[in-house]
Amino acid sequence: MSGRIDAHVHLWDRTTDPQDWIDPQTMQAIDRDFGADELTAMLASTGVRSAIVVQASNSLDESVRLARLASPVIAGLVAWVDLAGDIRGQLDRIRMGGATPVVGIRHLAHIDPDPEWLSREEVGRGMAALEAERLSFDLVVRDWQLGQAARLADRHDGMRFVLDHLGGPPAPGGDLGEWAAGLRELARRPNVTAKLSGLSSGLAAGSWTARDLAPVVDVALDAFGPSRLMYGSDWPLAELGGGAPAWIAAVETLLDGLSAAERDRVFGGTAREAYSLA
C-alpha cells in the first residue's frame, strides 16, 4: 500500500448504531449519517488515498457492521471488543464475512465510568490476548490519564499503542504544562506512537489558525519525533472545526520544516507500521 493515509476517521449509520453523544444543537454539522461514499469524497478533497476507520462507540455490534463495509479507500478498522471477555471469539465474530481487516482495538477510556479502567487486571489480561493477535491498541484518553497510559505501555512493552488526538491537549491559550509533561513521559515508551488528530474538532469553525495550534504540535514533534507521529483528520468531527481540508492544510503548514522523508512518515509511514498495513 502506498500513498497518504488518514489514520483516524469515523463512519456511522444511526438507524443501527445510535450516536447519543451527538448534540443536535452544538453539533449540527455532524448530526446525520456518514458512509463510505462520503468518506471517499472527503479523502479526495484532502489528497489522501485511504483511511483507517475507528469505532465511535463501545459496541461489538457496531464493530461487526463497520468491518462489513466494502470500500477501496478503507485500509483497516480499529474495532471494539470487551477486553474482559473472550477476545478470540469476539474477533472471529467481527472478522466473519468482514470486508475490512481489523488492525487495532480501541476502548473509550476517557468516558468509562471507571476512571482507572486502564489499570484494571482484566484489561491487562485482554491486552495480552491482543498482543498475541498482533493487534495494536488505540489510547483515547485525557491528559490526566496519560500516566496510566504510560504504565500500561510499560506492562505490555511488546505491544504497539497509538495515542489518539495527542491525549486531549488544552485549547489554544490554555496552560500546556500538565499535558506536555504527561505526553513527554508517555513518549519515552518506544512502543507508543501518536496521532496528529482531533485538535480542531473541539474548536469553532473559523476561530483558529495553524499558528494557534503550533505550541501543541511543537511539543508533540519534540516528544515523539516525526517518525512516531501520524496524520488523522478525525472526520467527520473535523466538520465541527471547519472541515478536513482546513485541518490538513494546517498540518501541512505546521510540518513545513520537516524533510520529505519525515513528512512521508507522518502522512503514511507511521500508520502503516503501527497498524501492520500490507
> Would you state the pLDDT for residue 278?
75
Of the chain, the percentage scoring pLDDT greater than 90 comes to: 98
Average pLDDT of the segment spanning 46-74: 97
Which helix (H) or strand (E) is 218 found in, with range?
helix 210-224
Q: Which of 3, 4, 54, 7 is nearest to 231 (CA)?
A: 7
Give the pLDDT band (50/70/90) at residue 1. low
Mean pLDDT of the chain: 97
Q: What is the pLDDT of residue 265?
A: 98
Pairwise CA distance, residues 59 & 121, whole Å: 21
pLDDT 10s digits, 107-162: 999 999 999 999 999 999 999 999 999 999 999 999 999 999 999 999 999 999 99
Closest CA to 140 of 213, 58, 68, 214: 58
Q: What's the rounded Cα separation, in Å, for the pair 240 and 16?
A: 23
Indicate the pLDDT class of residue 253, thresholds 50, 70 and 90.
Answer: very high
The rounded distance, in Å, linking the Cα atoms of 220 and 12 is: 30
Query: How is 83-133 classified by DSSP, letter by letter?
Result: TTS-HHHHHHHHHTT-SS-EEEEEE-GGG-SSTTGGG-HHHHHHHHHHHHT
Q: Mean pLDDT throughout 238-257?
A: 98
pLDDT at position 97 over 90: no
> Which of these, 95, 51, 28, 74, lies nearest to 195 by C-alpha position?
51
* CA–CA separation, 136 and 246 (whole Å): 29
Retrieve residue 75's grid coordinates.
485500509
Please give the average per-residue pLDDT across 56-66, as a whole number. Answer: 97
Average pLDDT on 194-208 reads 96
Q: Quick one: CA dihedral 147, 152, 156, 158, positive or negative?
A: negative
Q: Stretch 59-78: mean pLDDT, rounded?
A: 97
pLDDT at 261: 98
